[in-house]
A and B are shown apart, each in its own frame.
Chain A
């Protein structure tokens, strides 16, 4: 895997974003002050404002970073699955297994999804945030849908299935699994739900 070396400025920006994301996912954006983010990221006020115009600018950056990061993980895992397996169904099943493993390997329960965090707070009133969130989930759906189309072509599903809904379910299960993880204050629920989804897909497509 190629390791990208960050410049000093990029490293500072990344440090701010990582600290902000951690705090925001614990208590929400409204309750998070710029001062505590600066403290946690060990940057000065001028250092912070060199990178972000204001709090709203940071809000957008956090969302974009989260969506990009998740998309990259997804693409990498799909690539690995494709490299191992030619068949579209079995590659998809391998992807879900690897994805569950990645979730299971997290040191703690899943910290949360920025899109979900914002949608439960007043960030949802910002048009740009809403748009970025909606685009994020639609981008993901498109990726899943393309692969499900290839699967459905080779393996006619056992019942009439709405493939857009099935593509959405990859996102729904992760979002819901995170809520279970958070509510139970322990890890395990999210990877288990991803494996349930894997079984659902296997059951619907694999020939009996």
Chain B
């Protein structure tokens, strides 16, 4: 391998390292308190090295959310597919995936779980329309993916009463977001999985009341 082959790779590596460091810093203490200076010091690069990769701090923040959206979307898709391969019943597959979704949301490179979109939402005045669109994208694909499975469950187990499936899908997102906040604020044990278990109990009661 020649030197020219290595260079772009090293560049990619630095870029990834900067993003990883920034993600941790922002999840720990927020966007405003995170400085470019501390990131380059930790990464051991110069300021011009930083600006080679990102136009400014705002662009870095957006790249982080883009990466996060892509990771979560692919991760959720994978969880659904694995659960659907293991469980022929659509409700069982959904319930299994929800447990894994909560578990994945609790796993974090930081001391406490957190979500970039939530962190940015609580500093939204520092950002622009494009950031708002990235946050919205994250909410939309989660709703769409969960809703699709809720529809399959509803087709097999028609609920007794009319259920707003968008709101029911959003409820899973709200629970995960709310539980993350609780687990950031409160000491262990974490509340995440118990919160998701209640949601699962609710889904069973709606779709398969006799089995609940």
Interface residues of A (CB under 8 A from B): 25-28, 30-31, 112-113, 115-117, 119-122, 124-125, 130, 133-134, 137-138, 158-159, 161-162, 164-166, 168-169, 171-177, 179-180, 182-185, 189, 192-193, 195-196, 200, 203-204, 208
- Quick check: which of B12-20, B41-49, B145-153, B204-212 contacts chain A, the rest being far away? B204-212
State whether A134 touches B185 (Cβ < 8 A).
Answer: yes
Given A31-B123, A112-B122, A183-B135, residue A138 in contact with residue B212 (CB < 8 A): no
State whether B178 touches A31 (Cβ < 8 A).
Answer: no
Which of B33, B176, B177 is within 8 Å of A30, CB to CB?
Answer: B33
- In the complex, which residue of chain B has the Cβ closest to the Cβ of A200? B202
- In the complex, which residue of chain B has the Cβ closest to the Cβ of A23? B125
State whether B191 touches A168 (Cβ < 8 A).
Answer: yes
7 pairs of residues in contact across A and B, judged by CB atoms under 8 Å: A31-B32, A121-B123, A159-B212, A169-B195, A172-B175, A173-B171, A182-B124
Q: Does B194 contact A (CB under 8 A)?
A: yes
A27 to B115, CA, bound (A): 17
State whether B121 touches A182 (Cβ < 8 A).
Answer: yes
State whether B181 touches A193 (Cβ < 8 A).
Answer: no
Interface size of B by CB at 8 A reads 53
Which of A30, A165, A174, A192 is within 8 Å of B170, CB to CB?
Answer: A192
Q: Does B187 contact A (CB under 8 A)?
A: yes
- In the complex, which residue of chain A has the Cβ closest to the Cβ of B31? A28
| CB neighbours of B118 from chain A (8 A) | 116, 120, 179
State whether B114 touches A172 (Cβ < 8 A).
Answer: no
| CB neighbours of B31 from chain A (8 A) | 28
A112 to B124, CA, bound (A): 11
Majority secondary structure, A binding face? helix
State whether A185 touches B182 (Cβ < 8 A).
Answer: no
State whether A200 touches B122 (Cβ < 8 A).
Answer: no
A133 to B112, CA, bound (A): 15
Q: Does B167 contact A (CB under 8 A)?
A: yes
State whether A193 touches B174 (Cβ < 8 A).
Answer: yes
State whether A27 touches B209 (Cβ < 8 A).
Answer: no
State whether A179 touches B174 (Cβ < 8 A).
Answer: yes
State whether B178 touches A173 (Cβ < 8 A).
Answer: yes
State whether A115 touches B181 (Cβ < 8 A).
Answer: yes
| CB neighbours of B186 from chain A (8 A) | 134, 137-138
A204 to B119, CA, bound (A): 33
Q: Does B93 contact A (CB under 8 A)?
A: no
Given A134-B186, A162-B197, A168-B182, residue A176 in contact with residue B175 (CB < 8 A): yes
